[in-house]
Amino acid sequence: MNIAMIMASGKGQRMGQNIPKQFINVKDKPIIVYTLEKFQKHPQIDKILVVCLEGWESVLRAYALQFDLTKLEWIVSGSEERQKSILNGLKKLKEVAGSDDFIVLHDGVRPLVSLDIISDLIVTATKFGNAISSLPVLDQIVIRNNSLTTSKSIPRDDLRIVTTPQAYKLGDILKMYEKAYSDGKAMAGNHSINTLMHEYGEKLYFSKGSEMNFKLTSTEDIYRFKAILETEKSDWIK
């Protein structure tokens, strides 16, 4: 079974709006709904769990009914910290899913994920046991000496940009989190699942990514998203 776990527990304070960014309406539809519709439409996604900003759970349930999001099975409350929010979702999934089921983790504010990206992720995870969406680094990367200068660059061929969605077996994530909390690493810095996996020596496998699958973090991103929605017959909004 493939279960999408959508992270929608952030407050989005950088957006400067009076409501969380995942619930902002764009062309009469909340951003989170655009995201959920992609997983709703994908034939290989069986069920959806959303880790929701606390206090907004009933709003999300209402949207699920309004937009016929029938795969949305569970809504759990998030936390102030992303790692705790992820753990809240995993605890629920431990009750309802098997250790070999794949959890497809995705940011609720990446509404332009394509069905093709989800498909390639699932194919890769099924073959290798996990998958992380990635894409090449196109710009030059340098190491700064200080705030004003640099004397060294990093070869782009050695680098990849990693985004969501990512797919892992539930049993593997739970095992890793139990160890991370025991070692005190789970709350250290801004660890994501893939960085924790790296710390414990796990090899992760690249699947297809896209620059179109950007995260909405600023007002400028909203304008960009609106422009894409207004593009006729865009494959990214089907």
For the stretch 34-66, pLDDT in tens is 999 999 999 999 999 999 999 999 999 999 999
Q: DSSP 3-state assignment of 185? A: coil
Query: What is the mean predicted confidence (pLDDT) over 172-189?
Result: 77
Q: Which of 209, 37, 46 is nearest to 117 (CA)?
A: 209
Q: What kind and span of H or E run contains 197?
A: helix 193-199
Q: How far apart are CA 136 and CA 158, in angstroms?
A: 9
Query: What is the mean predicted confidence (pLDDT) over 93-118?
Result: 96
What pLDDT, on a 0 to 100 scale, did the predictor assign at position 172? 93
| 15 pLDDT above the threshold of 60 | no
Give the chain's domains with CATH numbers. Answer: 2-134+160-237 (3.90.550.10)
- Tell the burial category of 52 from Cβ atoms under 10 Å away from its Cβ (0-12, 13-18, 19+): buried
Residue in the block written with tokens 């407050």: 11
What pLDDT, on a 0 to 100 scale, did the predictor assign at position 233? 52
Q: Which of 64, 57, 107 is nearest to 82 (CA)?
A: 107
Q: What are the tens digits of pLDDT across the range 129-141?
A: 999 999 999 888 8
Phi-psi region of 16 (alpha: psi -120 to 50; beta: other; left: phi over 0): left
Residue percentage of the chain with pLDDT more than 90: 62
Torsion of CA 86, 90, 93, 98, to 10 degrees: 130
Model-wide pTM > 0.85: yes
What pLDDT, on a 0 to 100 scale, did the predictor assign at position 238? 54
Orientation angle between helical segments 57-66 and 31-41, nearest 10 degrees: 50
What pLDDT, on a 0 to 100 scale, did the predictor assign at position 12? 58
What pLDDT, on a 0 to 100 scale, did the predictor assign at position 170? 96
Q: What kind and span of H or E run contains 165?
A: strand 160-169
**Backbone φ and ψ of 192, nearest 5°:** -105, 175
What pLDDT, on a 0 to 100 scale, did the predictor assign at position 142? 87
Contacts of 140 (CB under 8 A, 6+ apart): 153, 156
| 232 pLDDT above the threshold of 80 | no
What pLDDT, on a 0 to 100 scale, did the predictor assign at position 158? 84
